[in-house]
Amino acid sequence: MAARVLLQVKEISKSFGGVQAVLRVNVELFEGEILGVIGPNGSGKTTLVNLITGFVKPGSGDVFFKDRKITGLQPHKIADLGVTRTFQIMRPYHSLPAFKNLIIPLNSPRIVRSRGGKLGDKDAVAIDILEEIGFERDAYVPYKIASSLPLGYLKRLELARCLALKPEVIICDEIFSGLSMAEITTMIPILEKLQLSGISIIMIEHRLRELFRLVGRVMVLNFGQKLAEGAPEEVMARPEVRDAYLGTEEITC
């Protein structure tokens, strides 16, 4: 069965001054899949996210969501269509309690529209979302001020903010980085559950072993260009990918 292409990036390029951050990259995200994007540091992964979600305007190339061109739209317009993202450097609302962080997306036009103007008890909805994402309700974690939360919860909060928007696509920018093995192990089922509920996910990751447990397809970026794409084992077996990760220099001793 050929799944529908949900998000399509065509020949997108962006340079910052003399640095070519992303060069003619094509991405296709099928409905209901998890796509991994990997690559060494500085290979343009986060720029790609910024380009798709409108935080950075592309130099050339286009982004299509459900065959609709979304290139150059404001970030809030793109989020409004259901393409959401997490930030690599977490951006919680420091001064607000964790569950109040979700009241902001719950007030967005997208949610107001989907509920026909009737919003009901937003606090309860927010706490339900947090519980779904792994906040223990009994430990009062949802009620703590966001600036006092540990890293693991902040990463979850990023994901929860996306989830509160009832998204169709979530782009996770290094959601595993900095987490302990135990925390990642509890995150993986959450992401699998999101996939089962019909959300397509792009995961940008450095933690390859954990990533490969989730993704069906992986894409490798290097110096802003697409190096390889395909099933994880197949991609990692390729010599150019190994070279990109480990270096090509001959060892002479």
Partner 1 sequence: MGYLLLPRLVLIGGLLLLPFLVDMYWQRVLCIAGIYALLALGFDFLAEYVGLVCLGGAFFVGCGTYISGLLSATLNWSPVFTIPIATVGGAALSTLVLLPCLRLRGIYFAITSFMFPLLTVHVIIALNIFGGTEGISALATFPNVWVDQYLILGVVIFSLFAMRRLVNEDFGLILRGIKDNDQAVRASGISITAYKTKAVFIAALMGCFGGAYLSHLYGWIGISQFALDFSILPISAAVMGGMGTLVGPVIGAFILTPLSEQLRDFGQLRVVVYCLILIGFIVYKPEGLMNYLQRKYHQFEHWKEV
CA distance 155 to 57: 26
User: Closest distance between partner 1 and the C-beta of residue 118, in Å?
Assistant: 14
User: Closest distance between partner 1 and the C-beta of residue 165, in Å?
Assistant: 6
Q: What is the largest CA-CA distance in the chain?
A: 72
User: Closest distance between partner 1 and the C-beta of residue 87, in Å?
Assistant: 7
Q: Would you say 156 or 161 has its CB closer to partner 1?
A: 161
Q: Would you say 8 or 108 has its CB closer to partner 1?
A: 108
User: Closest distance between partner 1 and the C-beta of residue 77, in Å?
Assistant: 8
Q: Would you say 77 or 115 has its CB closer to partner 1?
A: 77
Q: Give residue for tokens 């970030």.
A: 75
CA distance 82 to 99: 21
- 62 forms beta bridges with 10
User: Closest distance between partner 1 and the C-beta of residue 184, in Å?
Assistant: 23
Q: Residue 176 in 3-state DSSP?
A: coil
The DSSP bridge pattern shows strands 19-30 and 200-204 to be unpaired
Using CA atoms, how far residue 209 sits from 37, 153, 173, 212, in Å, is 13, 22, 16, 5
User: Closest distance between partner 1 and the C-beta of residue 105, in Å?
Assistant: 4
DSSP track, 181-249 = HHHHHHHHHHHHHHHHTT-EEEEE-S-HHHHHHH-SEEEEEETTEEEEEE-HHHHHHSHHHHHHHH--P
Q: Would you say 165 or 235 has its CB closer to partner 1?
A: 165
Q: Would you say 135 or 212 has its CB closer to partner 1?
A: 135
Q: Would you say 109 or 189 has its CB closer to partner 1?
A: 109
Q: What are phi and psi of 23, to 5 degrees?
A: -130, 115
User: Closest distance between partner 1 and the C-beta of residue 186, in Å?
Assistant: 24
- 89 forms beta bridges with none
Structure tokens at 155: 């990463």
Query: Contact residues for partner 1 (CB under 8 A)?
Result: 53, 55, 74-77, 79-80, 84-85, 87, 91-96, 100-101, 103-105, 107-110, 122, 161-162, 164-165
Structure tokens at 225: 């260009």
Q: Would you say 19 or 104 has its CB closer to partner 1?
A: 104
